[in-house]
Structure 1
Amino acid sequence: GNVAALERCQPIYEELPGWQAPTTDIRQYEQLPPKARQYVARLEELTSCPVNLICVGPEREQTIHKMPIF
């Protein structure tokens, strides 16, 4: 890697509003609180990459598929 280029980098901190509602029982993207959906949209915007899987807890069934897999 190019260490000189990395040394010139400056972090940009961005604060986004949080949400107080629990999300561990949510299984559909549309059921997430609006601020949670806005957070996901901002991640997609910053990374230029779609987010499809959203985990709302440690268990396998606590995964939301934003877009159908098949």
Structure 2
Amino acid sequence: MREPKVGYDTVLLLLGQLIKFLFIGIFVCTVLVVLAGIFGAGEEALLIYQLIWGFFWRICIALIAFISVFVLYESL
């Protein structure tokens, strides 16, 4: 029996969906932090935003590395 192969299109579709949700998440976080700053909780909101922003960039860099490795593997 042949093992089912995950196609290139499927992987790119999943990566695209993940990246879309990451950007939507960081946008929502930005809006919430701005609203918290307006309503007087600016320092706490900025601390939370810095924490989430660092996590966001780590995930994005890992995704870029994964895409690079995957494309290189497919080209061999």
TM-score by length of 2: 0.30
When Rg is computed on C-alpha atoms for both structures, the one with the higher figure is: 2
Indicate the structure with greater strand content. 1
Indicate the structure with greater helix content. 2
TM-score by length of 1: 0.31
